[in-house]
Amino acid sequence: MGLTRAFAVFLRQVFLFKSNPTRLTSLFLWLIIDIVQWGFISKYLGSIGQSTFGLITAILGAIVLWGFVVRIQQGIMTSFLEDVWSQNFVNFFASPLTIVEYLSGLVITSIVTSLAGFIMVVIIAGVAFGYNVFTVGLMLIPFMAILLIFAMAMGIFISGVIFRLGPSAEWLGWPIPLVLSIFSCVFYPVTTLPTALQVIARLIPASYVFESLRHLISARAISPGLGSHLLLGALLALVYLAIAYMFFIRVYRRNLENGTIARFSAEAW
């Protein structure tokens, strides 16, 4: 894999952010709204309840980590859409750029922009609501790693769907995080869901992370089963990443076959 070419894909996005600062609002604005709104809601709920459970910690932790997932998924998708909107596929795919390099460039872009958003909401949550994301200690690393892999899988899969169905399919991409948040059990335990939906939740890697996060906050200790629980989540996330990658490759080959790459534009669908 050519790192220089993956860097070129990343640099293109950096130039876009530099040239138009309004694009930065998409990185930060929704995260700020979420953290401020949920910060006040959880503060209020905490004030009326007698629970010893760290409500602010649980809700804001969930908001910060789910925001990271959403930014990664949408970061990959919007970077891909930039190439759709600028009808850039002919220039890119006629160059030595390979699909792995192209997807790596999109992923690097989304990781950098998402980490910028993550750091900002951590600061706001700390200053405004006294929340410290690092209270979960080193467990934050596996939590974020699983969420990152899962979000990459979602972002690549949705980009593949748009590549397959045409630019108008971007409308499928925006509500995906909302739908998945239900089954990821971001704000409630898996057992809250009806039995049939719990089966779906068990297939979503993020649900293992948020279950573990709540357990860690309530028990204030790492339970013996936590490792295997997270391992299962990580394996699921890796499987989804492999499936998403293979799906994208399959769509790319199909588009090579039928000529879609040469005429991939919003007007052609």
Q: Is 2 in the site for other proteins (CB under 8 A)?
A: yes
CB 162 → other proteins: shortest distance, Å?
18
CB 145 within 8 A of CB 234: yes
Distances (CA, A) of 161 to 72, 84, 151: 17, 13, 15
CA–CA distance, 265 with 259 (Å, rounded to integer): 12
> DSSP labels for 17-79?
HHH-TTHHHHHHHHHHHHHHHHHHHHHHHHHH----S-HHHHHHHHHHHHHHHHHHHHHHHHH
Taking the mean position of all CA atoms in its chain, how far away is CA 258? 31
Quick one: which of 41, 145, 239, 261 contacts other proteins (CB under 8 A)? Answer: 261
Return the amino acid letter for 219: A
**Would you state the structure tokens that stand for residue 87, as one six-digit string?**
């009808």
Q: Is 258 in the site for other proteins (CB under 8 A)?
A: yes
Under DSSP, the state recorded for 224 is T
Quick one: which of 28, 36, 87, 249 contacts other proteins (CB under 8 A)? Answer: 87
CB 12 → other proteins: shortest distance, Å?
5
Q: Is 78 in the site for other proteins (CB under 8 A)?
A: no
CB 21 → other proteins: shortest distance, Å?
13
Quick one: which of 48, 52, 259, 267 contacts other proteins (CB under 8 A)? Answer: 259
CB 95 → other proteins: shortest distance, Å?
4
Quick one: which of 29, 90, 165, 242 contacts other proteins (CB under 8 A)? Answer: 90
Query: Number of residues in contact with other proteins, rule: CB under 8 A?
Result: 32
Q: Which is nearer to other proteins, 160 or 233 (CB)?
A: 160
- Write out the residues near other proteins by the rule CB under 8 A: 2, 4-5, 7-8, 11-12, 15-16, 19-20, 86-98, 253, 256-259, 261-263
